[in-house]
Amino acid sequence: MAATWTILSPVAPRPVEEATGGALQVNRPLAGLRVGLEVDYAWISYLTVIDEWEQLLKADGAVPSTFWIERSRDDTSRRTEAELRSDIEEWSRLIDCGVVGLGN
């Protein structure tokens, strides 16, 4: 008897409705705007993106503030969940807007 294999697609189905959010609008000059950039050390290739965004923001007069989530998943000196939450809350008070999450 031959074995039957099922191959699953890793691609999510298209949403029924397309997102209509569009680009974020900042209704003021970028000069002096404190922009938070959140990044996780696990995304090493993302360092290039953060470096580029920091340079572009500075060139437009904004003040970028990069928040590094974790140095390593295996690092024993990692912050506890409560410490991380406290650090994020403090960082959010220091910025006017932020680019965070997987969608950034």
Q: Residue 23: pLDDT band by 50, 70, 90 thresholds?
A: low
Among 65, 51, 68, 74, residue whose Cα is nearest residue 94: 65
Segment 36-61, tens digit of pLDDT: 998 877 777 788 888 999 999 999 99
- Gap between the terminal Cα atoms of the chain: 50
Among 36, 47, 97, residue whose Cα is nearest residue 71: 47
DSSP structural state of residue 39: E
Task: Judge contact between 26 and 98, C-beta under 8 A.
Answer: no
pTM: 0.66
DSSP structural state of residue 56: H
Stretch (H or E) spanning 59: helix 46-59
